[in-house]
């Protein structure tokens, strides 16, 4: 079963959550406050209307010798109770006469009911017929009507709730829109604030493994500068470590060259002057070993120069690749002939200069490594074809008609210290050629030879960039 790697938390997401979280809490607090205020103002409006109703009803009471009376026909009572949304109930009762008019048994406040005083009337919440109602009670004194008279008006609370919801929505919707706009503005601000980090990441991603120069602090915010300083210190330490490695390789190779040269000279002297023929095979083996060791030291020197800043881009200059390839190929003719091999050279276009920017000594070493590899693994009696092309980009190919390298092993042969089936050499020739090609912004490809058998090792190089007053041919 495939497992997915957990996603790392986003810094922008954390900042956005850290800012939106308090806004959401404020929105909830504001919503609760707005609901309380909406309920308060709705109650204030409808309590005023309820008080007006109970007050107007009290004006319908007349005092007679028999006590208080109310002249309210049934049609008037229905008109008083009529409402599109809410149900309205009322009654008028005397202390001695009891119910005078209206509906009996309107709810009384309980002991724990909150009773509000409103301009001489009492208002409270109650339950009636399974509904919430708001009740207003106005008590009239005995001196006015010969006995105490109580006027009650009860009304359901649907309009109150509707008005409270309208007030609540009218305040919450703008707040919600404001929070959404604020969230977008905060998100945009966070992305803008984190843009310097993205720039630093892009600068690092665009670099090759050879570019270890410090990151520029220009335009970097103060909060991000500790990160750039830490990265620059790391790059500086890494560059120092690589420089130490290159110095060690170069010094070791230089130290090896002197005694190896002395051994080779002494072996040659003994071979010329010695009479014992039995020593000649041993001297030949000694000379071959010294040649391999000297070749290894030269390759180590080339490897050190091909590393970042080893002799670096500072040694680059403009030169004719055609002339370099012709000179390098001519140097290998004697050894190829000694192995029974022909060297053929073709140039496209024919014998036209191909100008490139680079280090000619390193490129000569790369071509020598390709020739050395072709001769080393060729069984003899064949041909090596040196091809130079200028399009689509300059390339130098060394092709042989030997056993070649299976396609599945070619990538492995470009790794350091990996040798072919015959086990000869140091395993550095092709990797060094690859490093040199990459130092020049190119590549090394191992392909099938055009003849159908053997191997083609092709160096791909960039064409020289034209400058003012310079004609670049090729």
* Sequential pLDDT tens for the chain (474 residues): 445 556 666 777 777 777 778 878 887 888 888 888 888 888 888 889 999 989 988 888 888 878 888 888 888 888 888 888 889 999 998 888 888 888 888 888 877 678 888 888 999 999 998 899 999 999 998 888 888 999 999 999 998 888 888 888 888 888 888 888 888 888 888 788 777 778 787 877 777 766 777 877 777 777 777 888 888 888 888 877 777 677 766 666 665 666 667 777 777 777 676 555 666 676 666 666 666 666 666 666 666 666 655 555 557 889 999 999 999 999 999 999 988 899 999 998 778 899 999 989 889 989 999 998 899 888 888 899 999 998 889 999 999 998 888 999 898 888 877 776 655 666 778 888 998 898 888 999 999 998 888 899 999 998 765 544 343 333
Q: pTM surpassing 0.75?
A: no
Which residue intervals of the chain bear CATH 1.10.287.130?
A: 225-306
What is the C-alpha to C-alpha distance for residues 178 and 190, in angstroms, rounded to an integer?
A: 18
408 dihedral zone (left: phi>0; alpha: psi -120 to 50; beta): alpha
E strand or H helix that includes residue 122: strand 121-128
Note the pLDDT of residue 26. 81
Domain 225-306: which CATH class? mainly alpha
What is the C-alpha to C-alpha distance for residues 248 and 304, in angstroms, rounded to an integer?
A: 9
Which residue intervals of the chain bear CATH 3.30.450?
A: 11-166
CB 362 within 8 A of CB 436: yes
Note the pLDDT of residue 74. 85
What is the C-alpha to C-alpha distance for residues 8 and 421, in angstroms, rounded to an integer?
A: 46
Give SS3 for 118. Answer: strand
Over its C-alpha atoms, the chain yields an Rg (Å, rounded) of 50
CATH code at 11-166: 3.30.450
Work out the end-to-end distance of the chain between its first and last CA atoms, rounded to an integer number of angstroms: 56
Which residue intervals of the chain bear CATH 3.30.565.10?
A: 314-460
Query: Residue 454: which of 382, 395, 394 has the closest Cα?
Result: 382
Domain 314-460: which CATH class? alpha beta
């Amino acid at each position: 079963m495939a497992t997915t790697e957990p996603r790392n938390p986003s810094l922008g997401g954390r900042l956005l959550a850290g800012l939106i979280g308090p806004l959401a809490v404020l929105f909830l607090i504001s919503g609760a406050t707005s609901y309380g205020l909406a309920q308060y103002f709705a109650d204030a409006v409808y309590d005023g209307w309820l008080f007006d109703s109970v007050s107007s009803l009290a004006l319908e009471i007349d005092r007679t010798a028999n006590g208080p009376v109310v002249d309210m026909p049934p049609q008037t009572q229905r008109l008083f109770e009529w409402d599109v949304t809410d149900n309205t109930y009322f009654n008028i009762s005397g202390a001695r006469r009891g119910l005078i008019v209206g509906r009996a048994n309107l709810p009384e406040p309980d002991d724990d009911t909150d009773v509000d005083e409103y301009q001489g009337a009492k208002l409270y919440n109650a339950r009636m017929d399974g509904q919430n109602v708001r009740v207003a009670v106005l008590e009239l004194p005995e001196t006015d009507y010969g006995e105490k008279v109580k006027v009650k008006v009860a009304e359901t609370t649907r309009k109150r709730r509707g008005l409270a919801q309208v007030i609540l929505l009218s305040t919450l919707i703008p707040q919600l829109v404001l929070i959404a706009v604020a969230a977008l503005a905060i998100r945009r601000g966070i992305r803008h604030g984190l843009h310097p980090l993205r720039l630093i990441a892009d600068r690092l991603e665009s670099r090759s493994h050879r570019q270890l120069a410090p990151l520029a602090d220009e335009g970097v915010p103060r909060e991000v500068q500790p990160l750039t300083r830490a990265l620059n210190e790391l790059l500086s330490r890494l560059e120092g470590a690589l420089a130490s490695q290159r110095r060690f390789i170069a010094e070791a190779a230089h130290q090896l060259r002197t005694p190896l040269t002395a051994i080779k000279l002494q072996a040659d002297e003994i071979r010329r002057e010695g009479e014992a023929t039995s020593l000649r095979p041993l001297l030949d083996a000694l000379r071959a070993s010294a040649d391999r060791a000297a070749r290894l030291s030269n390759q180590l020197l080339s490897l050190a120069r091909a590393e970042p800043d080893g002799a670096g881009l500072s040694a680059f200059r403009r030169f004719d690749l055609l002339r370099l390839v012709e000179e390098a190929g001519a140097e290998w003719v004697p050894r190829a002939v000694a192995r029974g091999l022909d060297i053929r050279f073709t140039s496209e276009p024919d014998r036209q200069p191909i100008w490139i920017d680079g280090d000619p000594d390193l490129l000569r070493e790369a071509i020598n490594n390709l020739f050395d590899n072709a001769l080393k693994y060729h069984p003899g009696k064949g041909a090596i074809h040196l091809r130079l092309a200028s399009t689509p980009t300059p390339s130098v190919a060394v092709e042989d008609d030997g056993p070649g390298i299976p396609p599945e092993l070619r990538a492995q042969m470009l790794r350091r210290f990996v040798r072919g089936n015959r086990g000869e050499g140091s395993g550095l020739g092709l990797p060094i050629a690859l490093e040199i090609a990459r130092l020049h912004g190119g590549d090394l490809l191992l392909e099938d030879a055009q003849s159908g058998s053997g191997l083609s090792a092709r160096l791909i190089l960039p064409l020289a960039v034209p400058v003012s007053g310079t004609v670049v041919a090729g």
